[in-house]
Structure formats: C-alpha cells, structure tokens
C-alpha cells in the first residue's frame, strides 16, 4: 500500500486510514461469527472504510453511526457512503471521541451492537512532544477507577484509553467490539475487562500485517470481544492470521495473572509463589559516554574517545545486555564506573579514596549533571541507581530483558572483581559458584522454561521482566526436580508468615 508521508497532523490524530480491502476482510470474518447487529458504530470513522465494509457484510443493519474529528475525513466518508447501497442509513457526525457521552450514545442503540473500527495509533507521550490536546481530559474521569489508572500512567496508547472507555460503556449489553490495534493494546484491554469483571463471552485476537496495510512496524491484530450479560469468560483465542479457522493458542487470565499460555499455567501453577531469591536489575547511570569505559594500555578509554587514568577502586568489569543475551559472558571488554555501593551514598568520599576518579567526575560533571531523569534530582552528585550488596556479589545468574530468548547465564568474577551489568539485565546474586550452578540448573530446566512461557508475551518490547521472573518459586521447582536437599544447603527454607498464612488458608 502507498504510505502517506507522516505530517504532524497525521501523527497527532494517529491517522492511519484502513484500506477498504482490509476493512472488508475484517467484516467478512465477523459476519461469519457474530449475531446480526441491529446497530453499528464506528467511533473514529475516518474516511469511512469500515462503515462501507460493514454495510456490505451486514446489509440488514438498520442503523449505522460514524464519528470523526477531522472535517475533511467526514466529507470523504459521506461521499463514499453516497455511492454505497444502503448508505442512506449511515449517519456520519463530526465530533470528538473524548467529548462524546458514550453511555448516552450507546444507550439509545438497539442490540446486538457492533462497535467496529481502528482507533488512533498514537501514544500520550508522542502527543506531549507534539504539544497536542487530542487527549482525554483527566478531570472528567476522576471517579472512573480503570480509566483514571490509565490517565495516571506516564505513557499510554490513546487507542487503549478509547477501547477501555467503549468496553466500560458496553458492559451489560449484547455487543461485539471489534477493533484493529497493537497486540500490546489488545492485551491491556483484555486484562482490564477480566480484572474489572466486565461481562464478556468469547474473545479473540487475530494477527494482521500492520506493515503491509499501514506501513507500521508493530505487531497488530483484530481484537474481538463479544460482550454478553452474565458471562465472564477469561480465555481469548489467538489466531496467527486474520482468516484462520484454527486457533494457535489461548491467552487468558487466572488468579490475577495475565497469561500468554493458559495450558502451561494450568500445568505449573503450583510453582508460582514467592521466590527465595530477589531478582535485581543492573546499574542505571544514564551516561554511558562517561561511565562506560574500555581498558587500554593501563588506562581507560571513555565514550568520548578520551584516554583517562582512574584508580581501580570504583571501576568494575561490565557486561551489556547484548553480551548476556548472546552468552558472551566470559571475557568482559568493558568496565563501568560505579560511584556508590548503595543508593543515596555520599559521593564526596570518592575525593579522599580515589583522587583521579573524583577529578574525572568533576571534569565530566556537565554530562552527569545534565541527566534528564528526575531520579537524579535531590541525590548526591554523580549518583547511580540499582546498587546494593547484590551488585558486588561475586557470582550471578543473569538474563537480558531486551532480547527474545529465555537463556540464563552464570557470570563469575573477572580478574578478581565482581562483574556488573547495564540496567536492562536482570540477575540473582549468589554467594558461591556451587550455589550459582544449582540455581542455573533449575532456571535452565525444561520445567522452568514452560513455566515462564505461561507469562511471557514474546512480541512485547521487553518480554522478560523482573515481575515475570519473580513469579517462579525456586524452592517449589527444586522440590519438583528432586533437588530440595541441595537447594536447602544454600537458602533458608523458612517460609515467611504471610506465605504460611496463605498456605494454611489454601489447605483448610
Ligand atoms: C487509525 S485512523 C482510522 C480511521 C478509520 N477508523 C479507519 O479505520 O479507516 C484514526 C482516526 O481517528 C481519528 N481521530 C483521532 N482523534 C480523534 C478524536 N479525538 N475523536 C474522533 N476521531 C479522532 C483520526 O482523524 C483518524 O481518522
């Protein structure tokens, strides 16, 4: 498809018009699967592809309504529908999604209702950069738990907000909501439905080729939610292609978890619990030019290509996420200047302990002081984050959060110093090589892999997160693998009170 050049206006309104051919395919998929709608709504109808395709697939639908903010698109949609049989039944209104009273509008419509479309492809952060006001007004939604939680988030997809707004207004009605959106948005909408107890029957996600149809390099899908009073189905079928008859899997919701693989969860949910180990992130410094170095002829070369002399006291061998992901962990080529051993530690002590290092920091203060993140404000100068005893443990089990591979590596000391990581690496600190070897044998087992696969969405930006890693109770896994005694040699098996109370309740 010919992709329009992205102007500010296109970006601001997330304006990627659906080609008619795709709208027709979507409506053909729906017409074979949902009850004949009495009312059809396209909440951000653009130039009207979905309204036209819906008229073709549901020729008996008595009422169709489209809303669109852009007056030129409204004119195009009206013109398109004038040439479509039955187009006289479609009302295209110029309006703002955020100013529309959706409860009121949907209340007046006969059931079953079909809400169909392709909401704007833009995030609140992008709108902030563009200085755009095409956002929900936060104050309007103070009393709405779900939406309020979203508007409180630093960054959110506008389509996520719109979808949830529509689903909340459709709760308790016989309706289908079928929208093209990013996979990540579809998952957030489903999570919201399931968590908030919205009455839902079947649902599905069917992959679409966003690159071909929209020139967008994202994983996207048709999300279809069949809302049905009295139902609360927490499974969602996954299809690899829009028109597939056979599903490729089921994502779902159980015990408060959003699941990438419901079957795997059902098999291994008894391994879910409090991990005896705490997963940690690598060191965050936001200034790689100054803080990351390469050893060279007894000195260090920084990211500004300067050769500098530093005492060894604050310099540690480091591995980047890509090296951890590829398993190239044996011979770290980089070093990191770690200015603190715990968060908030006074950095002025560096001056007495390592004069050259302190001078280096002062000489490069303009880079460090200019770090944008608010976490550095009101902290000692040259602060870093993600530091504690665990940073300096000699043995670690590490995994990269950025790469789409579930592979854990043992990282031991290098030249008698503990190896540190960048902040996209997650790790467990271990006291000895033996402990690290046992822990990695657990984590790299087929059972652990299947357990984690229950939670990991591989198309997410960061598929592996601390939250996911922390779900696996390594003691329960050791028991499953007959390694409980060996495991007991390294960690306390004492169960914390909160946990034992929960267990007591479970076994009552
Ligand atoms: C991704 S395009 C899709 C258009 C149409 N739904 C389709 O499938 O071809 C998103 C549409 O949302 C419209 N839009 C953006 N913000 C809006 C708002 N606040 N209210 C109503 N429409 C809006 C844009 O003008 C654009 O036409």
Instruction: Report how many domains make up the chain.
Output: 2
Average pLDDT for 349-357: 97
* Co-location of 423 and 452 in the same domain: yes
- pLDDT category at 462 given cuts 50, 70, 90 is confident
Closest by Cα among 70, 49, 66, 51 to 7? 70
CA of 134, closest atom in ligand 1: 19
Q: Is residue 1 one of the residues assigned to a domain?
A: no
Per-residue pLDDT at 136: 84
Q: Is residue 275 one of the residues assigned to a domain?
A: no
Q: Is residue 420 one of the residues assigned to a domain?
A: yes
Q: Compute, in angstroms, the gap from residue 42 CA to the centroid of ligand 1.
A: 9
Q: Is 229 exposed, middle or buried (0-12, 13-18, 19+ CB in 10 A)?
A: exposed
Q: Is residue 267 one of the residues assigned to a domain?
A: no
Average pLDDT for 418-435: 96
* Co-location of 101 and 231 in the same domain: yes
Query: Is residue 104 pLDDT above 80, yes or no?
Result: yes
Q: Compute, in angstroms, the gap from residue 135 CA to the centroid of ligand 1.
A: 13
Closest by Cα among 394, 396, 384 to 278? 396
- 150 sits in which H/E element: helix 145-151
- Residue 385 is given by DSSP the state B
- Protein residue with least CA distance to atom 10, ligand 1: 120
Per-residue pLDDT at 434: 95
Is the distance from the beta carbon of residue 13 to the nearest atom of ligand 1 less than 6 Å?
yes
Write the pLDDT tens digit of every residue in 154-207. 688 999 999 999 999 999 999 999 999 999 999 999 999 999 999 999 999 999
Query: The dihedral of CA 364, 370, 376, 379: what is its sign?
Result: positive
Q: Compute, in angstroms, the gap from residue 144 CA to the centroid of ligand 1.
A: 24
Last-in-domain residue among 200, 229, 259: 259
Per-residue pLDDT at 369: 95
* Co-location of 233 and 297 in the same domain: no
Q: Compute, in angstroms, the gap from residue 73 CA to the centroid of ligand 1.
A: 9
* Co-location of 308 and 231 in the same domain: no
Last-in-domain residue among 227, 259, 291: 259
- Looking up tokens 């100054």 gives 290
Is the distance from the beta carbon of residue 46 to the nearest atom of ligand 1 less than 6 Å?
yes
Per-residue pLDDT at 6: 64
The CATH number for 211's domain is 3.40.50.150
* Co-location of 468 and 404 in the same domain: yes
Is 395:384 a contact under the CB 8 Å cutoff? no
Per-residue pLDDT at 402: 84
Is 378:343 a contact under the CB 8 Å cutoff? no
Q: Compute, in angstroms, the gap from residue 14 CA to the centroid of ligand 1.
A: 7
Is the distance from the beta carbon of residue 45 to the nearest atom of ligand 1 less than 6 Å?
yes
Per-residue pLDDT at 13: 84
* Co-location of 459 and 357 in the same domain: yes
Per-residue pLDDT at 495: 44
Is the distance from the beta carbon of residue 159 to the nearest atom of ligand 1 less than 6 Å?
no
* Co-location of 245 and 291 in the same domain: no
What's the count of helices (H) and strands (E) in the chain, helices before strands?
Answer: 22, 20
- pLDDT category at 148 given cuts 50, 70, 90 is low
Average pLDDT for 447-469: 95
Mean pLDDT, the chain, rounded, equals: 91
Is the distance from the beta carbon of residue 102 to the nearest atom of ligand 1 less than 6 Å?
no
Is the distance from the beta carbon of residue 441 to the nearest atom of ligand 1 less than 6 Å?
no
Torsion on CA atoms 268, 270, 273, 277, rounded to nearest 10: -70
Query: Is residue 355 pLDDT above 70, yes or no?
Result: yes
* Co-location of 251 and 316 in the same domain: no
What residue numbers bound the domain in which 411 lies?
280-506
* Co-location of 220 and 335 in the same domain: no
Residues 6+ apart with CB under 8 A from 26: 50, 53, 116, 178, 180, 222, 242
Q: Is residue 340 one of the residues assigned to a domain?
A: yes
Q: Is residue 70 one of the residues assigned to a domain?
A: yes
Q: Is residue 273 one of the residues assigned to a domain?
A: no
Average pLDDT for 30-56: 97
* Co-location of 317 and 202 in the same domain: no
Q: Is residue 264 one of the residues assigned to a domain?
A: no
* Co-location of 57 and 28 in the same domain: yes
Average pLDDT for 128-146: 64
* Co-location of 335 and 249 in the same domain: no
pTM of the model: 0.85
Is the distance from the beta carbon of residue 117 to the nearest atom of ligand 1 less than 6 Å?
yes
């Amino acid at each position: 498809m010919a992709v329009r050049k992205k102007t500010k206006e296109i970006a601001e309104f997330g304006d990627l018009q659906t080609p008619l051919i795709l709208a027709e395919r979507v409506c053909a998929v729906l017409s074979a699967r949902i009850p004949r709608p009495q009312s059809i709504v396209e909440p951000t109808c653009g130039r009207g592809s979905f309204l036209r395709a819906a008229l073709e697939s549901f020729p008996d639908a008595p009422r169709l309504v489209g809303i669109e903010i852009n007056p030129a698109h409204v004119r195009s949609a009206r013109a398109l529908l004038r040439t479509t049989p039955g187009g006289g039944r479609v009302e295209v209104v110029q309006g703002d999604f955020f100013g529309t009273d959706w409860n009121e509008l949907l209340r007046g419509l006969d059931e079953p209702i079909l809400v169909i479309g392709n909401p704007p492809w833009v995030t609140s952060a992008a709108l902030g950069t563009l200085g755009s006001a095409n956002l929900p007004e936060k104050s309007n939604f103070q009393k709405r738990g779900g939406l309020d939680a979203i508007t409180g988030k630093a960054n959110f997809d506008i389509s996520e907000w719109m979808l949830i707004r529509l689903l909340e207004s459709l709760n308790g009605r016989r309706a289908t909501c079928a929208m093209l959106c990013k996979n990540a948005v579809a998952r957030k909408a489903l999570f919201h439905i399931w968590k908030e107890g919205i009455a839902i029957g079947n649902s599905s996600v069917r992959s679409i080729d966003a690159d071909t149809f929209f020139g967008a390099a994202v994983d996207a899908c048709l999300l279809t939610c069949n809302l049905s009073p009295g139902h609360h189905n927490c499974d969602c079928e996954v299809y690899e292609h829009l028109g597939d008859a056979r599903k490729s899997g089921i994502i779902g919701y159980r015990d408060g978890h959003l699941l990438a693989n419901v079957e795997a969860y059902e098999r291994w949910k008894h391994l879910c619990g409090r991990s005896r180990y705490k997963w940690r992130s690598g060191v965050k410094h936001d200034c790689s030019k100054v803080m990351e170095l390469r050893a060279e002829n007894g000195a260090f070369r920084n990211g500004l290509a300067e050769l500098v002399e530093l005492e060894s006291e604050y310099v540690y061998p480091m591995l980047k996420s890509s090296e951890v992901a590829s398993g190239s962990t044996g011979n770290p080529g980089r070093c990191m200047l770690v200015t603190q051993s715990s968060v908030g530690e006074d950095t002025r002590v560096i001056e007495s302990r390592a004069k050259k290092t302190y001078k280096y920091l002062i000489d490069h203060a303009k880079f460090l002081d200019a770090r944008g993140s608010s976490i550095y404000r009101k902290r000692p100068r040259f602060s870093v984050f993600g530091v504690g005893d665990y940073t300096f443990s000699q043995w670690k089990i590490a995994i990269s959060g950025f790469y789409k591979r579930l592979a854990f590596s043992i990282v031991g000391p290098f030249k008698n110093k503990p190896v540190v990581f960048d902040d996209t690496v997650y790790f467990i600190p271990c006291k000895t090589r033996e402990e690290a070897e046992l822990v990695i044998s657990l984590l790299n087992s087929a059972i652990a892999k299947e357990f984690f696969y229950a939670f990991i969405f591989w198309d997410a930006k960061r598929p592996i997160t601390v939250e996911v890693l922390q779900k696996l109770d390594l003691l329960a896994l050791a028991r499953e693998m007959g390694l409980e005694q060996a495991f007991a040699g390294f960690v306390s098996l004492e169960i914390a009170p909160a946990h034992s109370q929960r267990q007591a309740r479970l076994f009552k």
